[in-house]
Structure 1
């Protein structure tokens, strides 16, 4: 499957490949609340991809850092990010049926988010 081109020229970029939306945010801060308006503005001004739908979703969030991990609660980061993307990729964060949040060392400081519909369980 060919991946779509990235949209965005600032700190926030996103692309849509089939049912998967990937979002990256360059840089890290210990203030989780910083990310909500940043991502919200990206979706409001630059995103013309998927529209919100109903159903269950999987959201994967990875915080990449250089050196020691920042002093940040991952649960607060996840809440801020979910609040920022709701209304754009899904209607409400109660639709998130699976949430994976992790941090690890990377080549640069950034946050990567993957959102995709959760398949219905076999009957």
Structure 2
């Protein structure tokens, strides 16, 4: 597993299984995440190049107290748009997608992306 690459509220690392991205903090504005994550990958990411094939993606929103008023489908779309071109060529390559929210110890979003072996 590689070391974390960190810039502001976003950090990411690669492993043999795939890519893990963590975003600290939450907002109810789903559109906030797309430029945040996109700029991280554009400026800081030196990981692997985008690839073809099918991918699995898990997006987990962890919140404290009441869940934020945010549609998870809009969050998923913003995050997938932000990482396309860096992880995979197009979000149509996502063959498995799980998006969930749960009460936890901190407010953050964790994204796991891995190639599916078929």
Normalising by structure 2, report the TM-score: 0.98
Q: Tell me the distance in 1 between the aligned counterparts of 2:80 and 2:30.
A: 11
Match of 1:12 in 2: 10
**Shift of residue 4, structure 1, vs aligned partner:** 1.7
Q: Tell me the distance in 2 between the aligned counterparts of 1:71 and 1:100.
A: 19
Match of 1:105 in 2: 103
Larger radius of gyration: 1
**Please, which runs of 5 or more residues in structure 2 have no aligned partner?**
none
Normalising by structure 1, report the TM-score: 0.94
Structure 1 segment 65-104 matched on structure 2, within 5 A: 65-104=63-102
Does the aligned pair in 1 maintain the 2:7–2:40 contact within 8 Å? no
CA root-mean-square deviation: 0.7
**Please, which runs of 5 or more residues in structure 1 have no aligned partner?**
none
Q: Deviations over 1:65-116 (max 9, x none)?
A: 0000000000000000000000000000000000000000111100000000
Q: Deviations over 1:17-76 (max 9, x none)?
A: 024100000000000000000000000010000110000000000000000000000000
